[in-house]
Structure 1
Amino acid sequence: MTDLKIIGSEEWCVFENLGIPAIKARVDSGAKTSSIQATNIKIIMKGTQEWVKFEVSPLQENRSISIPCQARLVDRRMVKSSSGISEERLVVRTAVTLGDETFEIELTLANRDTMEFRMLLGREALNERYIVNPALNYQIQDFDEAVINQKYAPYFKEKTGLKIALLASNPNLYSNKRIMEAAEARGHEIVFLNVELAYMKLDAHSPEIRYRGGNILNAFDAVIPRIKPSVTFYGCALIRQFDNLGVYCQNTAEAITQSRDKLFASQLFSKNDIHIPITGFAKSPMDTKDLIKMVNGAPLIIKLLESTQGKGVVLAETNKAAESVINAFKSVNTNILVQEFIKEANGQDIRCFVVNGKVVASMQRQAEKGEFRANIHQGGKASIIRITSEERKLAQKAAKVLNLAVAGVDIIRSNKGPLLLEVNSSPGLEGIENATGKDIANEMIVAIEKKLRFSI
C-alpha cells in the first residue's frame, strides 16, 4: 500500500498511440471501466481483428479540434449511464501515460459532450497503482493553459474560410455553441450577433446594419438565423436587411415567418397534400361546439398560433373542458387552433432534422408519464429511431413547402399513417445530437459551403 502513488480527483492523461497529447479526466473509483468521448464510431477489419475508428474532441467545450483515432476492439458491453439508461458501448484497449508511467487500459467509447469531462478514469486503471485523494487535483501532472495551447497548436486551423454570422439571443445555448464550434472546426470565421443589439439604416444608396456602439456589420458571406419567438418580427426584419445587402441567409425571413404562423403553415400543408391531424379554426364563440365536433370531439388539442417547444399547448379531455378553454382564449382575443388528439401515438412523436432537403438525423421522443406532449424541454425522453421512407418523404416535403433550408419536422404515427404535427425553423441540436451521435452542427456548416460553392 505504501508504494501506491496519490492521485487527485482530476488528472491529465496522454494517449500517444491515439495521437491525443492531453485530455483532462475525472478520476472515478466508483466506475469499473474508464471512458472517453468519441464520435463517428466505425468498426473496421485489420486482418482477422476488429478495430474501431473514432474521433475525439479532447478539449471541453471546444469541438473545433477533432482527432481521428484507431484502437483494437476488445469487447461490447452494456453500460448504464448516469441518467440510468443502459446502452451497448464498444470497448477498446490502448496505452495511457500519467506522469512518468505508461500502461494499458480499457476504454468504453461514449458520447460525453454533455458531461463536464471528456474522459473518466475508472478503478481498473487505478488498482495497484494509485490511492485517490478526492480533495486534491493534478497530483500526477498538471498542464497550464499555455502548455495545452502549445500541445494543440498543430491542430488549430488558420481562418481562411467564410465569414459567418450567427444571429441569435443567447451565445451560451448548446445549439449556438455547437454551431460556432463546427464553423471554426472547418476553418471559418464566425461571429455571434445578438438580435436585439443590431439595428438598421434603410437607404436606397447605402443601406447598413450596425451593432451596438456603431460598428458597421459588413463583409459577411452567410448568416445563420436562430430567432427566438419573442423577437420574430425584429429578427426577420434583420434577415431581410442582410438579404438586401447580398448576404446568404440559411433560412429566409419569409420561411421563418410562415413556420411560426401555425394557421398559415397548416393551410400550406393542406394545399400541398401533406397530411396533418384534423384541425379547426374559428373566431366566434357561437361556433365552439361545432368546432369541437369537426375535429372528432374530445379529447382534443388546443394550440396557441405562435407557441413553440410545447408551450401554449393544452389537452382538453372532455367536450365541456374543451368548450371552457376555447371560449376563455377567445374572450381575450387570443387566436388558437383546435386539433384532433391522436390517442394511438401514446405520447410519442418523431423529430426529423432536415438540412437542405435531406433528413440528416431523426429521433423518437417519449412524453413523461402523465404528459401528452413528447417535448424534451418538458421532460420528454429521446432515443434514436429508424424512420420509414414515407416518414422521410413527409419531412422533406414539409421543409420544402415552407422553403426552410434547416428545419425540425415533427411527425406522429397514427392509424391513418404518419401525420405532420409542426415544423420548427430554429430546431435545437442538443437532444437529437445526444440521441443519435450525429454531428448536425457540421451538417449545417457544410450546407452553407455547398450553397456558396466553397471548398476547403
Structure 2
Amino acid sequence: MINDKLVVGSEEWVKLPKLNIPAIKVRVDSGAKTSSLHAVNIHPFIKEGEHWVRFDVYPLQGNGRTLIHCEAEIIDKRIVKSSSGTRENRYVIKTFLYFGEHSWEIELTLTNRDSMGYRMLLGREAMIGRILVDPESSFLHGDLDEFKQKEVYREKHQEKQGLKIGLLASNPDLYSNKRIIEAGERLGHEVMFFNIRHCYMKLDAKNPEIHYRGGKILNDLDAVIPRIRPSMTFYGCALTRQFEALKIFSLNSAAAISQSRDKLFSLQLLLNNGVDIPTTGFANSPLDTNDLIKMVGGSPLIVKLLEGTQGKGVVLAETKKAAESVINAFKSLNANILVQEFIKEANGKDIRCFVIDGKVVAAMQREALPGEFRANIHLGGTASIIKITPEEKKIAIKATKAMGLKVAGVDIIRSSKGPLLLEVNSSPGLEGIEAATEKDIASLMIKAIERNLNWDNKIR
C-alpha cells in the first residue's frame, strides 16, 4: 500500500463473488474510462418491479466450456465507445470487485469481449482513489496457472457439454481445415476430421448408418461441416444427405452444395432471385457459335467449362476468331461451356464476401499480379481488406440465400453497370480472408453451428 492505495500490475486475477465468479483475469487500463465484463445471451427482465439483466459469462479466455449464469440489477444503459471506435448501447450493473482481501463496489458495462485478450477491463473510474498501477508488473496479487484455474472452478462453475462435430473433407493439412478444428476445440467442442473417401453408408429403413474406415459408426455426431472438393461433389453430397437423414445438422446442406456446383443452374437461380451477373450465353450446337458470341457483346469474352473448378477450365478469347476456335474445340469434345462477357473495367480486381448465416462477416479485394490473366475469376495475386457498398452486401446475402447456403464465399466484380456476381463457393477457403481482414472466420463458423443447435441453452 502507498498512501493507502493498492498497487496492482497491468493484469491481475480478481473475484466477483456477487456474480459467482471466483476468478477472472482483468486488464488494468487507466486509459479506459469505464470497466467492462464479457457477457453473452444478455436479456433484461423484471424482478420484484425492478429492471434486472440476465447474462452468461465465459470467464476463462480460450475456454468454451466453463460457463457462469449471472443476474444483476440494471443501474443504467449508456452509449460506450470501444477501443475500435464503434459505439455500443450497453447495460450497466454494480458489483463488488475483490483484489485478495481488498474489495469495493464498481460499475461494469456488459459487452461481448470474445475478440479481446481479456474477459474483463478495469477502467479508471473504478480505480480513482484506490489503485496505483505499476505497468511493468503483472499478477502482483497472485497468478493462476491452468491447474489452479480448474481447482478454483471445480465447484463453482457449470460445464457445457461440447458438441461432437465432424469435418468432412479430403486433406487434414489444409489451412482451412486445421483452423476449423482448432477453433472448434478452443470453443469447447470435439471436432474430428473425416476423409470423405473413407466414409461409407448403410441404407436401411430401420437402422441407417454411416461408417468410417475401420468400422467406426458416426451416427452420434451433433453436426457436420462439409468441405467437399469439386472432384468429390457427387459422393460428398450423397454422404451429407445421409447425415441429414440421420437428423445430424449440416452447416451447408447437400442440396445447396449440389446446386452451387452446377454453374448453369446456379446462374439461372441467381437471376430468378434478382441477382445481376455478367451477360452469359449457353448453347448446345457449334452451329450457333457466331450468334452466341454476339449475344455476350463480342470479343474479348470468357469461355468457361461447366465442369471446371474455380480458376480452371476458363479461357479468355481476345478476338472473334480465337473465340470461335475455343468454343468449337470444346464442342468437338462434347464439353458443356458457358460464354460470358469480359468485364474490362474491373482491371484485374474482384471482391470476395464471406457470408455466414445470412450476414457478411468479412470482405476482401483480390487483385491480379502485373501481367497475370484474370478472366472474371480469381486466379491469385494480392488480397486486402475493403469496405463494400450496401448494394454489394445485399447481393452477397441475396445470392447465398438463393443457393440455400449457410456459409459461402461470394465473388463480386465491379462493372460500369454496377456490381455483378461471378460465383458462389460453398467451400470457401479461410487463409486469404483471415489474413487480409484479421478476423477469426473459423470461430464464426463454429458459432453458427452453436446458434443453429441452440447450444447456449444446453448445459450438462
TM-score by length of 1: 0.68
Alignment check: 8 A CA contact 1:278 1:295 kept: yes
Please give the residue correspondences for 1:177-188 in structure 2 after superposition, counting only pairs within 5 Å.
177-188=178-189
How far apart, in 2, do the equivalents of 1:250 and 1:256 lie?
10
Alignment check: 8 A CA contact 2:314 2:375 kept: no
Which residue identity lines up with residue 210 of structure 1 in the other structure? Answer: H
Please give the secondary structure, in 1, of the residue aligned with 2:303: strand
Q: CA 1:66 to 1:173, structure 2 compared with 1: closer, same or farther past 3 Å? A: farther
Deviations 1:86-109 (A, max 9, x none): xxxxxxx97599xxxxxxxxxxxx
Deviates more, 1:330-339 or 1:305-314: 305-314
How far apart, in 2, do the equivalents of 1:391 and 1:284 lie?
36
Question: How many pairs were matched up?
Answer: 337
Alignment check: 8 A CA contact 2:367 2:383 kept: yes
How far apart, in 2, do the equivalents of 1:421 and 1:376 lie?
7
Deviations 1:99-151 (A, max 9, x none): xxxxxxxxxxxxxxxxxxxxxxxxxxxxxxxxxxxxxxxxxxxxxxxxxxx96
- Tell me what 1:423 maps to: 424
Q: CA 1:174 to 1:56, structure 2 compared with 1: closer, same or farther past 3 Å? A: farther
Please give the residue correspondences for 1:344-359 in structure 2 after superposition, counting only pairs within 5 Å.
344-359=345-360
Q: CA 1:330 to 1:446, structure 2 compared with 1: closer, same or farther past 3 Å? A: same
Alignment check: 8 A CA contact 2:366 2:378 kept: no
Alignment check: 8 A CA contact 1:159 1:188 kept: no
Q: CA 1:325 to 1:47, structure 2 compared with 1: closer, same or farther past 3 Å? A: closer
- Tell me what 1:234 maps to: 235
- Tell me what 1:196 maps to: 197
Which residue identity lines up with residue 316 of structure 1 in the other structure? Answer: A
Identity %: 64
Q: CA 1:176 to 1:47, structure 2 compared with 1: closer, same or farther past 3 Å? A: closer
Deviations 1:333-387 (A, max 9, x none): 1111110000000010000000010000000000122224389984311000000
Which residue identity lines up with residue 192 of structure 1 in the other structure? Answer: F
Are 1:333 and 2:334 matched, yes or no?
yes
Please give the secondary structure, in 1, of the residue aligned with 2:274: coil
Return the offset for 1:159. 7.7
How far apart, in 1, do the equivalents of 2:137 and 2:300 lie?
59
Q: 1:46 aligns with which of 25, 31, 39?
A: 31
Return the offset for 1:153. 5.1
Which residue identity lines up with residue 205 of structure 1 in the other structure? Answer: K
Return the offset for 1:45. 7.1
Return the offset for 1:266. 0.6
- Tell me what 1:313 maps to: 314
Please give the secondary structure, in 2, of the residue aligned with 1:370: coil
Return the offset for 1:426. 0.1
Alignment check: 8 A CA contact 1:367 1:374 kept: no
Deviations 1:220-279 (A, max 9, x none): 111000000010000000000000111000101110010111100011111112100000
Deviations 1:285-320 (A, max 9, x none): 111111111000111111111333312211111111
How far apart, in 1, do the equivalents of 2:350 and 2:375 lie?
6
Please give the secondary structure, in 1, of the residue aligned with 2:118: strand
- Tell me what 2:82 maps to: none
How far apart, in 1, do the equivalents of 2:373 and 2:247 lie?
44
Alignment check: 8 A CA contact 1:349 1:410 kept: yes
Please give the residue correspondences for 1:426-445 in structure 2 after superposition, counting only pairs within 5 Å.
426-445=427-446
Return the offset for 1:47. 5.8
- Tell me what 2:362 maps to: 361
- Tell me what 2:389 maps to: 388
Q: CA 1:47 to 1:286, structure 2 compared with 1: closer, same or farther past 3 Å? A: closer
Which residue identity lines up with residue 418 of structure 1 in the other structure? Answer: P
How far apart, in 2, do the equivalents of 1:154 and 1:417 lie?
58
Return the offset for 1:160. 2.7
Alignment check: 8 A CA contact 1:18 1:69 kept: no
How far apart, in 1, do the equivalents of 2:378 and 2:421 lie?
20
Please give the residue correspondences for 1:268-347 in structure 2 after superposition, counting only pairs within 5 Å.
268-347=269-348
Q: CA 1:342 to 1:223, structure 2 compared with 1: closer, same or farther past 3 Å? A: same
Please give the secondary structure, in 2, of the residue aligned with 1:239: helix
Which has the larger Rg? Answer: 2
Which residue identity lines up with residue 417 of structure 1 in the other structure? Answer: G
Q: CA RMSD in A?
A: 3.2
How far apart, in 1, do the equivalents of 2:410 and 2:277 lie?
12
